[in-house]
Chain A
Amino acid sequence: MSQPLVLPDTPDAASYKDVWTFTEYVEGELFQTSFEAIAAARKIASMTNMRVGTVIVGYKIPQEVIDSLIWRGADYVIVVDNLELERYNPLTYASVLAGVARERKPWAFVFVADDIGRDVAPRVAYRLKTGLATDCIDYEMGEIYQGVVGQTFKNVLAQVRPDFASRIAKIFTPRHRPQISSMRPGYFKPLPEDRSRKGEVVRVQWKVAEEELKRFQILEVSRLPDEEGVELLTADFVIGLGLGVVRRTKGEPDPKLALDLAMKINELLSSRLKVKTAIGASRALVWAEIRGLKDFITPGRQIGQTGKTISPKVYVAAGISGAIQHKVGIIRSKKIVAINTDPNAPIKDMATYMINEDLYDALPKLYESLKRRLE
């Protein structure tokens, strides 16, 4: 049978094994989301009986950093340490990553879907002529029929990502290796640090091509002040404020009051229950730049597709309609309370609870009730 006119399979695809991640180590800082990628890789490895490797690229990478990757779940660390790799450059990094992958053949390769992962993973996937599933929130094993070759493939990785039509889509890369994906931050909890874990450190010598440094020359790197709203990522109780704060049904809207009410609830919970709390907002509210809120409701506090993905135990959406872009950021919340004057606001189909009242009434009532129950 002649090979149909399709992208040729990765040669020797069966010899690919292990699950890799790319660890982001930038300007002497280890990005903590790299631990989430290792957690994701561990999940894949446990389904496939494979080992977890991670690749770290940089210059003078401290042993402590390399150890921490093992303590957080890596079985081995591939270290590419070189003066010319000190700063992140998509050309040099893509060459390193594609190079080590070509040589050592990982079965799956997980990047973090952040500024760097999204910048470099596409180039790596292109060079290896394989697929790239972006923004994954989960991984499973599955089988898939591929029409162009008329075959069903078993035991391939189902790379699960949000899809706006059907809410979740599974992306498969049946005939090509490695199966590359990027993992959306916030969906895998880093494994607890286990300092007794042992692992292997593989140091790879790498010669950087002049051309890459010439064509992409880094002039300056500066650190931004710490971002606002990082507490959203780890909080167990989050209140999200939306444009509802400017649409009070009775009386003048007072956005500052709405914020204060939310803060009061959070203070109560954090002082009495030691719960980590945070306040976020919809994009509409962030963009509205409302006087009285402007200093607090900043872009760093935006929740959603173009903002932060949160995973609290309880999320209270106050005056938020629940646009799909907002919803993708709150999918991981365990319980969602919607406070909305509109009983049919789209947030409804994700909410566990609905308070069908003006938020200016509902927030004080919620506070009073909490106070009663915590007495």
Chain B
Amino acid sequence: MLVFALVKGVPANTANVVSVGGILRREQMDIVMNPYDRKTVEAADYLKRQVGGKLVAVSMGPHVKIIPIMQKLFDAEVSGIDEAYILSDRKFAGADTLATSYTLASGVKKVLDIHAQAMDKLIEASRGPVEEFEKLSRDLYLSNLAPNYVYSDRPAVQETLVAKLREGKISKSDVEQELIKLREEIYSNFCVVAGMKASDGETWNTGPQAAEALSEMLNILIPHASSATGLEYYQGSLIVKRRIGQFVQTVRMQLPAVITINPDYYVSPLTLEMRREARAMSFMGKKKEPVVWTIADLNPDPTRIGLAGSPTVVGPGVDLGKPPQIKVVGKSLILTQDVEKFEVDGKAYGPFKKGDPVDSLPDQVKEKLSGKFKVFEYDDLVDELLRELK
């Protein structure tokens, strides 16, 4: 089974809060993996180990920034990815969730298509001379496009289609039937795992919308479940647990399916038995080098990507209003009475109210107000709070 992990690069400061006085420093735009996606990769890896197959990471974003993230994912000891595709093109930029999910789905579809095309070639070859079929099987195996089930040079995997054919245990047409089944399963038996949300704001939409986009592209209804805390593969479907308000919903989803992972998700251990079963459907291994796809590779509908494909427009940001002048207990000086407007050195000040802090006023102004202020104490604070509460 192809298990996809949608991974997002986010500004480091949203993942790790580098804030100075509450204002985020955007110039510190180091891109790191969305913290929510760690669980995504773990969950996807768990599925892969359960079912067999390949863990394929797909990400949209500037490839210079995303490649290092993918490299780290390749190297991870547990739950490393097998392949990575980065969808990177200036024309993808500025996408809102509708355009993003469309683009990501296009990437997923292309990966599926590549596998199906490989299988088509193999089906074709299975009708021809056995040696050529063997050779193509081996080539596809080595390029990670055919699973152990077809061909393998691992001693642990016996009874591959090629071996059985060679030994006369099955006929050519049996092989063809098996391959046709494998080809069908590419589209009917995959799973996309995504983070529940991203730390930089785009909240929750990508998973469900990717399910829609893939449904549209593959012409099959693909269910999704957001925020899964539990995930198991069971007889060709997924058993998913998740929170719905005060309820826990347990569902059985048919593949293909899209799942987003809640940060509370924990991987349960796999039995040896499960691993053995999974091995036949596994692929040789990692490709290690992330592949970058641009618009020319994906050939998407230009009205569905980037800014052009985004129905939403983000207006200029607004500050939440002027922060109130802070009063510090035991330190701030506050007026003990109302003060009318007055002038110092030709500049107007006031009017002020009893309780207003004078800390930030220039010294000459404070002088003018002398005798009319005092230190802000606990009792003053409490008076103001009680006024608010009553």
Contact = CB atoms under 8 A, between A and B. Distances in A.
Interface of A: 4-8, 24, 26-27, 29, 31, 87-88, 90-91, 113-116, 118-123, 125-127, 129-135, 142, 144, 146-148, 158, 163-176, 211-212, 214-224, 226-227, 236-237, 269, 273, 275, 306, 313-314, 322-325, 327, 331, 334-335, 337, 343-344, 346, 348-357, 365-366, 368-370, 372-374
B248 A224 contact: yes
Contacts of B312: 131-133, 171-173
Interface stretch (B72-80, B95-103, B131-139): B95-103
B311 A175 contact: yes
A164 B13 CA distance: 10
- Classify the interface of chain A: helix, strand, loop or mixed: mixed
B320 interface: yes
Contacts of B200: 164
A171 B308 CA distance: 16
B225 A221 contact: no
Contact of A215 (B24, B203, B254, B383): B254
Nearest to A24: B245
19 contacts: A7-B311, A26-B244, A119-B227, A133-B312, A146-B313, A147-B307, A165-B317, A170-B316, A214-B254, A217-B252, A306-B263, A313-B389, A324-B22, A346-B20, A349-B323, A352-B327, A366-B381, A369-B381, A373-B379
Given A115-B226, A218-B250, A335-B388, 20 more contacts: A24-B245, A88-B249, A122-B207, A131-B96, A148-B307, A158-B315, A164-B201, A166-B319, A168-B317, A168-B320, A171-B315, A173-B312, A217-B253, A219-B250, A221-B247, A221-B250, A346-B22, A355-B328, A356-B331, A357-B329
Interface in B286-326: 302-304, 307-320, 323-324, 326
A139 B245 CA distance: 25
A127 to B, nearest CB: 7
B390 A273 contact: yes
B246 A224 contact: yes
B14 A174 contact: no
Given A114-B245, A374-B386, A7 B304 contact: yes
A129 B102 CA distance: 11
Nearest to A356: B328
A176 B311 contact: yes
Interface string B35-51: 00000000000000000
The 10 closest A-B pairs by CB, nearest first: A166-B317, A131-B312, A170-B315, A131-B311, A126-B212, A122-B208, A118-B204, A369-B378, A216-B223, A176-B311
A163 B254 CA distance: 36
Nearest to B203: A134
B379 A122 contact: no
Interface string B202-228: 111111110111000000011111110
B317 A167 contact: yes
A156 B307 CA distance: 19
Given A126-B209, A269-B389, A169 B307 contact: no
A121 B390 CA distance: 40
Contact of B251 (A168, A216, A322, A337): A216
B318 A166 contact: yes
Nearest to A216: B223
Contacts of A222: 247-248, 250
B330 A90 contact: no
Contacts of A275: 389
Contacts of B211: 123
A27 B243 CA distance: 13
A324 B303 contact: no
Contacts of B389: 236-237, 269, 273, 275, 313-314
B26 interface: yes
A122 B209 CA distance: 6
Contact of A169 (B212, B314, B324, B327): B314
Contacts of B324: 352
A218 B17 CA distance: 39
Interface of B: 14, 17, 19-22, 24, 26, 96-99, 101, 200-209, 211-213, 221-227, 239, 242-254, 263, 302-304, 307-320, 323-324, 326-331, 378-379, 381-386, 388-390
B329 A355 contact: yes
Nearest to A176: B311
Nearest to A162: B201
Contacts of A218: 249-251
Given A6-B308, A126-B209, A167-B319, A217 B251 contact: yes
A85 to B, nearest CB: 15
B198 to A, nearest CB: 11
B93 to A, nearest CB: 12
Contacts of A365: 378
Given A119-B227, A123-B212, A7 B246 contact: no
A274 B311 CA distance: 48
Contacts of B250: 218-222
Contacts of A221: 244, 247-250
A164 B98 contact: no
A123 B390 CA distance: 45
A123 B304 CA distance: 16
Contacts of B384: 335, 353
A366 B323 contact: no
A331 B319 CA distance: 12
Given A147-B307, A215-B254, A354-B328, A314 B314 contact: no
Contacts of A87: 249
Contact of B245 (A26, A169, A323): A26
A90 to B, nearest CB: 6
A175 B312 CA distance: 9
Contacts of B207: 122
A132 B205 contact: yes
Given A26-B244, A132-B205, A325-B17, A167 B320 contact: yes
A115 B229 CA distance: 13
A46 B208 CA distance: 32
Q: Taking each of A87, A113, A369, which has the highest tally of chain B beta carbons within 10 Å of its own beta carbon? A: A369
Contacts of B96: 131
B253 A356 contact: no
B327 A354 contact: yes
B213 A126 contact: yes
